[in-house]
Every structure is written in C-alpha cells, then in structure tokens.
A and B are shown apart, each in its own frame.
Chain A
C-alpha cells in the first residue's frame, strides 16, 4: 500500500519535473511581470513621443495585451529550458545541503532523503529558472524596444513607431525564447 503510494508520488514528482505546465503561483507571477513590463514603456511613449492617451488608447491597449501574452509565453519557454540545465548543475550542492540537514536526524532513511533531495532540487531549479527567465526576458524586451523606438524608427510617425517597435521586440523576445535548446 505504502509502496504504491510512494510510487505514484514519484510519478507525480517526475511529471511535475518534466511538465511544461506552470503552477498557479508561477503563472500569476509571470502574468503580473509581463503586464508591468509591457505597461512601463507606455509612459515613455506618452511623454517623449507625445502620444496622448485619449487619441491612442486603442493602440496602447492592443499593444500591451499582445506583448503581455507573448512575454508570458517567453517566460514559460525559457523557464522550462533553463530548469533542467540548472537542476543538473545544482544536484551536487543540493545533495550536500540535504545531507547536512539529515546528518543530525538518524531516523531518516535513504528513500526519504532522496525524495527530499529531489524536491529541493526542483524547488531551487524552479526558483532560479523563474527569476533568470524574468530578468533576461525583461532586459531583452526593454532594450529591443528602446533601440527600435528611439533609434531605428525615430523619424516615423508615432503610431507606426509604437506598433512596430512593440511588435518587433515582442516577436524577437518570443522567438529567442523558443529557439534555445
């Protein structure tokens, strides 16, 4: 009975490890971040390109929604790819960490310890992959957007400038996140 329970628990852990699905908390974090990062440049467009909200609000809303959606996907893609790489790297360190904790506890068996290591490794890899993915994608997106909007498309009309810079930088971030192996 307990054997079956622990096997299904192993399977769950494995599934969780290899699944692309993110937890609700992760999803909320990603969505929130994507929305914030998509909304910040609007301020820049308003102040510097003199695009007032009343005449451009449709463009702004559309652009923000599109970039939020694709940024979200980019975060998830990059996190998934990074998680496995990081998990491999951190295996040894996590092992040591758990061993230290278990050194004082004599009653724990190897199985529990291994479970604990696996869970902890997952947690750490998840955390690091999430934070790095957010950091990297945010930076990439903002840099692309700034370069496109203020250097490449500088002399175009504000509408063209906004739509193209948001579309192109979103596309670049998204494609880059899917391209890595």
Chain B
C-alpha cells in the first residue's frame, strides 16, 4: 500500500519535472522584414531571429526557407536561405539576415521557415520547428514607388520654367499698357488741377 502510493507519487513528481523542461531547450524562430515598403526591383531584407530559451545547448541547427522565396520570383543578393549553425548555447540568440530583390509585383505570401535541430550531440533525433510568418505582402511596382516617394524637384523646376511664359508674358503686356494709360490719365489730372 505504502509502496503503491510512493510509486504514484514518484510518477507524479517525474511527470511534473519533465513538464518544467529542465533538460530540454526549445528554439523560437522569428521571421520579419525590415522594410517599410516592398518594391519590385529594390532590396528586401528578411531578418531571422533564433532564440534558445532553455537551459541546454542545441546542435546542428539548420534553417531552410528556400521554399518561401523561389528564385523565379526573387533574386538572392546577400546571405543564404539555408544557413547552418553547429550549436546555439543556452540562453543565447542569433540573427540571420538575407537580402532579396523581388522580380515581380503584386501580392506575395511568404510562409514559415523550417528550422531543424538536435537537442543533444549524441541523440540524432531531429526536432523541427517553424518560424513566425510575415504573411501576405504587397510588392509595389517601381513606378508606383517613384510616384509616391521621389522628390521630383527637377520636374517641378522645369514645369515652372515652361509654364511661366504663359503667365508672365500676358501679364507684362497688360501691365505695361495699363500703366501707360493710367499715367496719361493721372498726368492730365494733375495738369488740370494746376490750371
């Protein structure tokens, strides 16, 4: 009877202990974009953050995000979409940055990156986890971006140069004539007064 309760108690304790994750670590992976706007033909920066939250080291970490950015639609400029790290120590994190260039415009969905790792050096059992996702993004065309954001100072200056003759020239003609006749009229008024 006593041994039975002891056994049950031991079982409870071991379950409770295992649930506090004393010996295992989990990797949390975030994926985000640093850009405010995603423009076709301009650089897009993706930042992956890997956080080892537990008390033990994880080994053979492998991030795979090739499926999110096929080379047909994205050109890879800097970094790799399939990095590997030997280990991530307990309580540390690391970031990985990839720079891409979207080739086409429109709505694009990039899904989760897949991260696989081993919890111990000896145990080759691979744990798989998924990163957060960015979701649907709108890639605007280069033209739209220029339209909204570039400063066009030269364009405005040239427009002013083109439009000013249409305004200044007639004004000048009218003003000259007006001044001439008003002067004539006022001169005669003064001579009349003098008389």
A and B: partners?
yes
Report A's interface with B, CB cutoff 8 A. 33, 36-37, 40, 43-44, 47-50, 90, 92-94, 96-97, 124, 127-128, 131-132, 134-135, 138-139, 142, 158
CB of A140 to closest CB in B, whole Å: 10
Bound Cα distance from A164 to B172, whole angstroms: 32
Say whether A33 contacts B147, CB under 8 Å. no
- Interface assignment of B185: CB less than 8 Å from any CB of chain A: yes
Say whether B155 contacts A90, CB under 8 Å. no
Say whether A40 contacts B162, CB under 8 Å. yes
Say whether A40 contacts B146, CB under 8 Å. no
Bound Cα distance from A49 to B146, whole angstroms: 8
**Chain A residue contacts of B162, Cβ below 8 A:** 40, 43
28 contacts between A and B (CB under 8 A): A37-B163, A37-B166, A40-B159, A40-B162, A43-B158, A43-B159, A43-B162, A44-B155, A47-B152, A48-B152, A49-B147, A50-B143, A50-B146, A93-B182, A93-B185, A96-B185, A96-B188, A124-B177, A128-B177, A131-B177, A134-B166, A134-B170, A135-B174, A138-B166, A138-B167, A138-B170, A142-B163, A158-B147
Say whether B184 contacts A97, CB under 8 Å. yes
Which residue of chain B has the shortest Cβ distance to A92 in the bound complex? B185
Residues of B contacting A: mostly? helix
Chain B: number of interface residues, binned into ranges: 20 to 34
C-beta contact mask, B154-190 vs A, less than 8 Å → 1, else 0? 0110110011001100110110011001101100100
Say whether A48 contacts B188, CB under 8 Å. no
Identify 15 new A-B residue pairs, CB closer than 8 A, beyond the known A97-B184, A131-B177, A132-B174.
Answer: A40-B162, A40-B163, A40-B166, A43-B159, A44-B159, A47-B152, A47-B155, A48-B156, A90-B185, A124-B177, A127-B173, A131-B171, A131-B174, A135-B167, A138-B170
CB of A169 to closest CB in B, whole Å: 14
A92-B185, A93-B185, A97-B184 known; A135 and B159 CB under 8 Å?
A: no
Closest 4 CB pairs of A and B: A131-B174, A135-B170, A93-B185, A93-B181
CB of B160 to closest CB in A, whole Å: 10
**Chain B residue contacts of A135, Cβ below 8 A:** 167, 170-171, 174
Bound Cα distance from A127 to B167, whole angstroms: 16
**Chain B residue contacts of A134, Cβ below 8 A:** 166, 170
CB of A165 to closest CB in B, whole Å: 14
**Chain B residue contacts of A138, Cβ below 8 A:** 166-167, 170
**Chain A residue contacts of B188, Cβ below 8 A:** 92-93, 96
Bound Cα distance from A32 to B78, whole angstroms: 56
CB of A156 to closest CB in B, whole Å: 12
CB of B37 to closest CB in A, whole Å: 15
Bound Cα distance from A138 to B172, whole angstroms: 14
